[in-house]
Chain A
Amino acid sequence: MLNIRWLSFSGFGLLAAVWELVAQVLASPVFPPFSRVLPALWYLAWSGQAWHHTLVSIQHISLGFLWAAISGVSIGIAMTQYRPLALIVTPVVDAVRPVAALTIFPLLILILGVGLWSKTMVIWWTAWPPILLTTVQSVRQVDPFVIEAARLDGAGRRAMLTWIILPLATPGIITGLRIGLGSGWISLVAAEMLGSSAGLGYAILVSSQTFAFPAMYAVIILIALIGLAMNSALAGVQRMVEVQLCVHT
């Protein structure tokens, strides 16, 4: 019987093998083989640079994601309860979603400067829409028969939301949080183009601009690993919630 844990790691092994093969075939100076990136990743970790840049970026990501989660979930739930709010917010979200954070840099500098909050805002800008939209969808997809049954049992609006709708929508909301977290990581490099002197996105820019490509890809791998760890933590929370829902329903 296949060991599930080894199977889930084999995808990374396959990716590394493909990377090595493609890089060797292309023989391009801008795409080093995986075997050249590994020593750079080791140096990054051993020299302490990885830890320093990671802490800075986690601060940026955490703040941006926290704001996106709070605003996305709360506004998303509110939109399902108050139709006028949904009518106002939905077209605005659809309109701004395709707008890249890079294009609003002047506005960010004007209002927030080039420090922590402008980077937080860039990450919030990309993480917030998927969280909001998935929250709305998850709440609306709660089984209407369950809602009707609760109403027949005498559940008021607040009780319905608190004890029926939100618990049942939570797994879907967490999925939205996971998507938003991924979006936030994607915008990290853009965020750290705005007045940074540290961070993983900053490290990618410095490596790229000085053609230290093994180091650049090493940082990209580090971002992927950290993103995977954060996403796995959220997935664990999601599984716990799903188990609790099975136990209590």
Chain B
Amino acid sequence: MRTYLNWLVCLLILTACTSTPAAPAARSSLRYVNFKVYDPVYVALDQGFFAQRGLEVTIIGDTLGGPTAIQAVASGSAEAGLASLPALINANASDLPVVGVSDIQSAIGDQPLEEFFVRADSAIHSLADLRGKTVAVNLWYSSFHYTILMALEQAGVAEEEVTFVLLPFEHQALALERGQVDMIGLMQPYTAYARQAYADTFRLLFTAFDVFGEKQFTTHFLHRDWAADNPAAARAFVDGIADAIDWIAANPEEARTIIARYTGIEARYIPDYRFQPDGRVVLDDVRFWLEYMQQRGDVTPGRLTPEDVATNAFNSRLSE
């Protein structure tokens, strides 16, 4: 009897020790395809703005640009990434299920974002001088490519009069310095590096501001179907970014340090960055890019509306 009671007590103690604790609150997860630029996602991760909302964001790898990120998300390898508005427009025109949801790159305030350089000793002093010259672009039909095309149109230079060559950002400064190309287009941090490394060799020819003033270029985007099935998680992602943007504005020095840590880029090459208020998508700017691409025939007119490409529906500050 005593032995039986001893065993019963042991069994009860064992049961109490191994009983399943109360299940933790459910957390959503999101895989984010990385592109090493000044990205508020890094700040949101670092400061816990996603975690506060029950969203676990995992950066799953680096890409060479927006189109690669879009393909990764569209194929189900991730739920979010960043891409230029022209890339998102092209993606939606090809029925890829992606939608822009928050700002990451805009020519805004004193931040032109896209800056185009020639050699200081070159004979190119205006866009018209680009006739017969070779111009480097980072990606075909990217925001840089279209900005240059718009600039050439404004200067009365036909597209066929300029030779475009593909060259990733990190190789453009060297190619210009060696005279292999006549003009390059850079964004941060490549601009900061070029200004420091080739200060006396390069001359700024024009910026995006000169072509069309303030414009949004790039947004974070989500897998459309995933966002529809997980609206709370989608909101958590966008709202976390909005909080990060506010934090960056209030703590620029600390933000630079965080960005340097996440990207591996030296802090001295990272300038202060501005974003759209509340990280909003500017649908008028989406319309701007869409109409230009339709006018060129790169997208079938009437095929898409700005609302097909991007939305503020997941931004609680704007949609409440």
Task: Using CB atoms and an 8 Å cutoff, list the residues of chain A in contact with chain B.
Answer: 28-31, 105-106, 109-110, 113-115, 192-197, 202, 205-206, 208-213
- Inter-chain contact B94/A212, CB cutoff 8 Å: yes
- Inter-chain contact A30/B74, CB cutoff 8 Å: yes
B165 interfacial contact with A, CB 8 Å: yes
Query: Which residue in chain B gives the minimum CB-CB distance to A196?
Result: B166
**Nearest CB of B to A30, in Å:** 5
Judged by DSSP, the binding face of A is loop
Which residues of A have CB within 8 Å of B70?
211
B300 interfacial contact with A, CB 8 Å: no
B320 interfacial contact with A, CB 8 Å: no
- Inter-chain contact A195/B167, CB cutoff 8 Å: yes
Which residues of B have CB within 8 Å of A197?
163-166
- A114-B180 CB under 8 A given contacts A195-B165, A196-B165, A205-B140: yes
**Nearest CB of A to B237, in Å:** 22
26 contacts between A and B (CB under 8 A): A28-B76, A30-B74, A30-B75, A31-B75, A106-B170, A106-B171, A109-B171, A109-B174, A114-B136, A114-B165, A114-B167, A193-B166, A194-B171, A195-B165, A195-B175, A196-B165, A197-B165, A202-B166, A206-B141, A209-B141, A210-B94, A210-B298, A211-B67, A211-B70, A211-B96, A213-B94
Which residues of B have CB within 8 Å of A212?
94
Which residues of B have CB within 8 Å of A196?
165-166
- A29-B171 CB under 8 A given contacts A109-B180, A114-B181, A197-B165: no
Which residues of A have CB within 8 Å of B185?
none
B95 interfacial contact with A, CB 8 Å: yes
B30 interfacial contact with A, CB 8 Å: no
**Nearest CB of B to A236, in Å:** 36
If A106-B171, A195-B180 are given as contacts, then 4 extra A-B residue pairs at C-beta distance below 8 Å, sorted by A number, are A31-B75, A113-B175, A195-B181, A211-B93
Cβ < 8 Å to A, chain B residues 51-70? 65, 67, 70
Which residues of A have CB within 8 Å of B87?
209
Which residues of A have CB within 8 Å of B93?
211
The residue from B74, B91, B96, B180 contacting A115, defined by CB atoms under 8 A apart? B180
Which residues of B have CB within 8 Å of A194?
166-167, 171
